[in-house]
Amino acid sequence: MTDTTATLLYALAFATIAWGGWLWRSRRIAPLEWALISASALATLASVQLLDLNLVLKPMPMAIAMIFVATRAIATGGIGRNDALLLAALLFSLGGDVFLMLPGDYFIPGLASFLVAHLFYIALFRQGAPWFASRSGLAAVLAFGLGMYAILWSHLPNPVLGAAVCAYVTVISLMASQAIGRAKSLGTADARWVAVGTCIFMASDSLIAVNKFLVPIPLASLWILVTYFAAQFLIVHFMAGRTQYA
């Protein structure tokens, strides 16, 4: 990495933190959401530039997201079913983050953790919405998932990994499809942003797959984490409910 690239990454990280501060000061997000944005920016920077801090910083965003969801739920009447499902999804996402950053080959445990997270997301997006209300969305997302798996299949080193990736692609595709259907059914801007978040989640995982099994992507962890943290933020922010923040 050149000095110019490193300087640009630092500038972008701290610009993101400053932008989060502006969102908080303008009462568009809660203080803990600013902390989530800041931790995400620092974790992304650490993945490419501050490697010694990566083990400390990478788990922080999902931990902060869980604290935000829990405290917000308690402040607005207690942890309900939706809050519990969201917290469970974030907990297993945190587990996946930890597995994937550990030294050694923990790819399948990480994959399994995220698969369970997506099952909780599916259950969350089912609350107050029918199953897969957008048939065109379901078809498009499944077609994308099938196409991605078809590209990956011959590059997967063993049948166990092939089965694990197949299961994961199926579940995340159903998760995004349910979110898209929920957006169609509810017709709200918040639901549409959640659906956008799930599609970005799929894009992030596609980058992981391409980088791991097909061809190395320059600064792969940067693009993977930017999309991953953006996806989780959109889901958390627009599922946890919004008001004006003091």
Nearest to 91 by CA among 62, 127, 61: 62
CA pair distance 205, 198, nearest whole angstrom:
11
**pLDDT confidence tier of residue 243, bands split at 50, 70 and 90:** very low
Region of poorest pLDDT, from 127-136, 186-195, 235-244: 235-244
**pLDDT confidence tier of residue 157, bands split at 50, 70 and 90:** confident
Share the mean pLDDT of the chain: 92
Which residues lie below 8 Å from residue 216, measured CB to CB, with a gap of 6+? none
pLDDT tens sequence across 159-184? 999 999 999 999 999 999 999 999 99
CA pair distance 165, 87, nearest whole angstrom:
24
**pLDDT confidence tier of residue 241, bands split at 50, 70 and 90:** low
Q: Domain ranges for the chain, please list them.
A: 3-239
CA pair distance 75, 28, nearest whole angstrom:
18
pLDDT tens sequence across 78-87? 788 899 999 9
Q: So what's the pLDDT on residue 1?
A: 66
pLDDT tens sequence across 6-33? 889 999 999 999 999 999 999 999 999 9
Q: So what's the pLDDT on residue 103?
A: 82
Q: What is the pTM of this model?
A: 0.92
Q: So what's the pLDDT on residue 245?
A: 39
Nearest to 33 by CA among 19, 42, 20, 22: 20
CA pair distance 11, 32, nearest whole angstrom:
22
